[in-house]
Chain A
Amino acid sequence: MTSAPIRTSNVRFAGLGGTGVIKASDIFADVAFREGHTVKKAEVHGMSQRGGSVQSDVRFGSEVHSPMIPDGACDFLVVLEPTQLEVFRGGLRSGGTLLVPADIDTARLPSAKALNVAMLGRLSRHFDFPESAWRASLRANFPEKLHSANDTAFTLGRNP
Chain B
Amino acid sequence: MLQPSQDKSGRLLLSGNEAVALSALHCGVALGTGYPGTPSTEILESFRTLGGKAQWAPNEKVAAEVALGAAFAKARVLCTMKHVGLNVAADVLFTMTYSGVDGGYVLVVADDPGLASSQNEQDSRRYAEAAVAPMFEPADSQDAYDLLQVAFATSERWHIPVLFRMTTRVCHSKSPVKPRFAPGAKLTTAETGAPTADFVRNIVDRVMVPGHAKPAHRRLRAKMAELEWWNISAGPNQVEKRSPALGIVTAGICYHHAREAAPEASMLKLSLSYPLPMETIRAFAASVQRCVIIEENDPWLATACLAAGLTIEAKDDAIFRFGELNVDRVRRILDKDSSPEPVPPRGKPPELCNGCPHATSFEVLKELDCIVSGDIGCYTLAALPPLSAMDMMIDMGAAIGMGLGLRHVLPRDQAKRVVSVIGDSTFLHGGLPGLVEMAYNPPQTGHVLLILDNGTTAMTGQQEHPGTGRQLDGAGTHRVCYEDMARAAGVKNVFTINPVRERALLKGVLADSLHKDELTVIIARSPCILAAGRIAAWAKEQKAKAATTETACTCECGDEDKS
Tell me, yes or no, whether A binds B.
Answer: yes
Binary flags per residue of A1-44, CB closer than 8 Å to B gives 1, else 0:
10110100000000011000000001001100110101111111
Binary flags per residue of A53-87, CB closer than 8 Å to B gives 1, else 0:
10000000000111110110000000000011011
**How many residues belonging to A are interface residues under a CB distance threshold of 8 Å?**
42
Is B89 an interface position by the 8 A CB rule? no
Is A51 an interface position by the 8 A CB rule? yes
Shortest Cβ gap from A47 to chain B (Å): 4
Is B184 an interface position by the 8 A CB rule? no
- The distance in angstroms between the C-alpha atoms of A140 and B6, with both chains bound, is 12
- The distance in angstroms between the C-alpha atoms of A83 and B176, with both chains bound, is 34
- The distance in angstroms between the C-alpha atoms of A125 and B38, with both chains bound, is 36
- The distance in angstroms between the C-alpha atoms of A39 and B349, with both chains bound, is 29
Is A52 an interface position by the 8 A CB rule? yes
Of B173, B256, B345, which is in contact with the most chain A CB atoms at under 10 Å from its CB? B173
Is A113 an interface position by the 8 A CB rule? no
Is B256 in contact with A65, judged by CB distance below 8 angstroms?
Answer: yes
Binary flags per residue of B253-272, CB closer than 8 Å to A gives 1, else 0:
10011011111100000000
Residues of chain B contacted by A51 (CB below 8 angstroms):
348, 350-351, 353
- The distance in angstroms between the C-alpha atoms of A128 and B301, with both chains bound, is 45
Of A17, A45, A71, A84, which is in contact with the most chain B CB atoms at under 10 Å from its CB? A45
- The distance in angstroms between the C-alpha atoms of A41 and B13, with both chains bound, is 9
Binary flags per residue of B1-45, CB closer than 8 Å to A gives 1, else 0:
011011110010100000000000000000000000011000000
Shortest Cβ gap from B241 to chain A (Å): 18
Residues of chain B contacted by A160 (CB below 8 angstroms):
none
Is A70 in contact with B326, judged by CB distance below 8 angstroms?
Answer: yes
Residues of chain B contacted by A68 (CB below 8 angstroms):
169, 173, 257, 326-327
Binary flags per residue of B106-135, CB closer than 8 Å to A gives 1, else 0:
000000000011000000000000000000
Is A46 an interface position by the 8 A CB rule? yes
Q: Which residues 310-351 in B have Cβ within 8 Å of A in the complex?
A: 326-328, 331, 334-335, 342, 344-351
Is B7 in contact with A34, judged by CB distance below 8 angstroms?
Answer: yes
Is A49 in contact with B172, judged by CB distance below 8 angstroms?
Answer: no
Is B511 an interface position by the 8 A CB rule? no
Residues of chain A contacted by B95 (CB below 8 angstroms):
none
Is A1 in contact with B334, judged by CB distance below 8 angstroms?
Answer: yes
Residues of chain A contacted by B3 (CB below 8 angstroms):
140-141
Is B460 in contact with A46, judged by CB distance below 8 angstroms?
Answer: yes
Is B176 in contact with A39, judged by CB distance below 8 angstroms?
Answer: yes
Q: Given A6-B260, A52-B350, A66-B326, is A46 in contact with B116 using a C-beta cutoff of 8 Å?
A: yes
Q: Which residues 260-289 in B have Cβ within 8 Å of A in the complex?
A: 260-264
Residues of chain A contacted by B8 (CB below 8 angstroms):
34, 36
- The distance in angstroms between the C-alpha atoms of A64 and B13, with both chains bound, is 13
- The distance in angstroms between the C-alpha atoms of A72 and B45, with both chains bound, is 35
Is A48 an interface position by the 8 A CB rule? yes
Is A108 an interface position by the 8 A CB rule? no
Binary flags per residue of A92-132, CB closer than 8 Å to B gives 1, else 0:
00000000000000000000000000000000000000000
Is B13 in contact with A42, judged by CB distance below 8 angstroms?
Answer: no
Is A66 in contact with B256, judged by CB distance below 8 angstroms?
Answer: yes
Shortest Cβ gap from B492 to chain A (Å): 37
Shortest Cβ gap from B255 to chain A (Å): 9
Q: Given A66-B257, A67-B175, A87-B347, is A44 in contact with B7 using a C-beta cutoff of 8 Å?
A: no
Residues of chain B contacted by A6 (CB below 8 angstroms):
260, 263
Is B344 in contact with A90, judged by CB distance below 8 angstroms?
Answer: yes
Residues of chain A contacted by B6 (CB below 8 angstroms):
34
Q: Which residues 346-389 in B have Cβ within 8 Å of A in the complex?
A: 346-353, 378, 381
Q: Given A49-B461, A87-B347, is A43 in contact with B172 using a C-beta cutoff of 8 Å?
A: yes
- How many residue-residue contacts, CB under 8 A, span A and B? 136
Is A145 an interface position by the 8 A CB rule? no
Contact of A86 (CB < 8 Å), options: B11, B140, B176, B345: B345
Q: Given A49-B530, A66-B257, is A44 in contact with B168 using a C-beta cutoff of 8 Å?
A: yes
Of A3, A43, A52, which is in contact with the most chain B CB atoms at under 10 Å from its CB? A3
Shortest Cβ gap from B528 to chain A (Å): 10
Of B11, B39, B348, which is in contact with the most chain A CB atoms at under 10 Å from its CB? B348
Is A53 in contact with B172, judged by CB distance below 8 angstroms?
Answer: no
Shortest Cβ gap from A87 to chain B (Å): 5
- The distance in angstroms between the C-alpha atoms of A140 and B1, with both chains bound, is 9
- The distance in angstroms between the C-alpha atoms of A66 and B259, with both chains bound, is 8
Residues of chain B contacted by A41 (CB below 8 angstroms):
13, 173-175
Residues of chain B contacted by A50 (CB below 8 angstroms):
350-353, 378, 381
Q: Specify the chain B residue showing the minimal Cβ separation from A4.
A: B263
Is A46 in contact with B263, judged by CB distance below 8 angstroms?
Answer: no
Shortest Cβ gap from B13 to chain A (Å): 5
Contact of B350 (CB < 8 Å), options: A17, A42, A67: A17
Q: Given A40-B173, A50-B381, is A65 in contact with B259 using a C-beta cutoff of 8 Å?
A: yes
Q: List 25 A-B contacts (CB under 8 A).
A: A1-B331, A30-B13, A39-B175, A40-B173, A41-B174, A41-B175, A42-B173, A43-B172, A43-B173, A45-B38, A47-B350, A48-B350, A50-B351, A50-B378, A50-B381, A51-B351, A52-B350, A65-B256, A67-B140, A70-B260, A70-B328, A84-B348, A87-B346, A90-B345, A141-B3
The 4 A-B pairs of least Cβ separation, nearest first, read A53-B347, A46-B117, A50-B350, A52-B350
Chain B residues proximal to chain A, CB less than 8 Å: 2-3, 5-8, 11, 13, 38-39, 116-117, 140, 168-169, 172-176, 253, 256-257, 259-264, 326-328, 331, 334-335, 342, 344-353, 378, 381, 459-461, 530
Instruction: Beyond A45-B38, A87-B345, list 10 extra A-B contacts (CB 8 Å).
Output: A26-B2, A29-B13, A36-B7, A40-B174, A44-B117, A46-B39, A46-B117, A51-B351, A70-B260, A70-B327
